[in-house]
């Protein structure tokens, strides 16, 4: 499956704009995302990700492939439900994978025309808005749909970097300021 996703910094009135679109509120989730790096290649260099996401309805292991275009965060995504995230983390560790970071966020999800709109409050980063759809061969059509929703929400500057990348940039900047 191809996850077609665009992200931008949210404005103070983003929730009101989501409501004005007619999006349907779904739920609020708390995410604890554990990112692992491979022993055979650096995922930062290959633009891949391996994550265990822990939330109220259970845990999932997700692989994300490299981004497919220069405008969005669209990429191949494979996800499986796991029963025990701690054991899964240990399995990955025994295989040589290294826990590289943790990202925590509170996600408020809405449904809109077969897409998901998420308002994410990310610890240490602030609030973002994501519009997501799923596709395969038609992923470019889905890309146009998510970009049009972003435009309706009056969000112009998309962010292609993941929350993990944004947190790493912030830490690096803080480290530079200490010098």
- Known catalytic residues are 35
| Beta carbons of 99 and 36 less than 8 angstroms apart | yes
Q: SS3 for 150?
A: helix
Q: Kindly give the residue spans of alpha helices, DSSP state H, lying in the chain.
A: 14-21, 43-46, 85-94, 139-152, 163-178
Task: Give yes or no for a contact between 50 and 62, defined as CB atoms under 8 angstroms apart.
Answer: yes
Tell me the C-alpha to C-alpha distance, in Å, between residue 45 and each of 37, 40, 41, 93, 116: 11, 12, 8, 20, 29
Residue found by looking up tokens 């809109």 in the block = 112
């Amino acid at each position: 499956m191809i996850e077609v996703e665009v992200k931008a910094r949210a404005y103070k009135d983003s929730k009101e704009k989501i409501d004005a679109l007619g999006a349907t509120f779904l739920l609020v989730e708390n995410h604890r995302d554990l990112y692992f790096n491979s022993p055979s290649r650096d995922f930062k260099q290959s633009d891949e990700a391996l994550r265990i996401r822990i939330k109220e309805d259970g845990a999932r292991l997700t692989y994300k492939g490299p981004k497919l275009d220069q405008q969005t965060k669209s990429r191949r995504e494979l996800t499986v439900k796991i029963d025990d995230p701690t054991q899964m983390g240990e399995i990955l560790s025994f295989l040589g994978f290294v826990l590289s970071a943790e990202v925590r966020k509170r996600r408020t999800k809405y449904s809109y025309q077969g897409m998901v709109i998420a308002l994410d409050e990310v610890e240490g980063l602030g609030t973002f808005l994501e519009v997501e759809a799923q596709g395969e061969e038609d992923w470019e059509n889905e890309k146009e749909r998510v970009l049009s929703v972003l435009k309706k929400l009056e969000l112009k500057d998309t962010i292609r970097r993941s929350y993990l990348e944004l947190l790493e940039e912030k830490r690096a900047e803080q480290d530079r300021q200490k010098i």
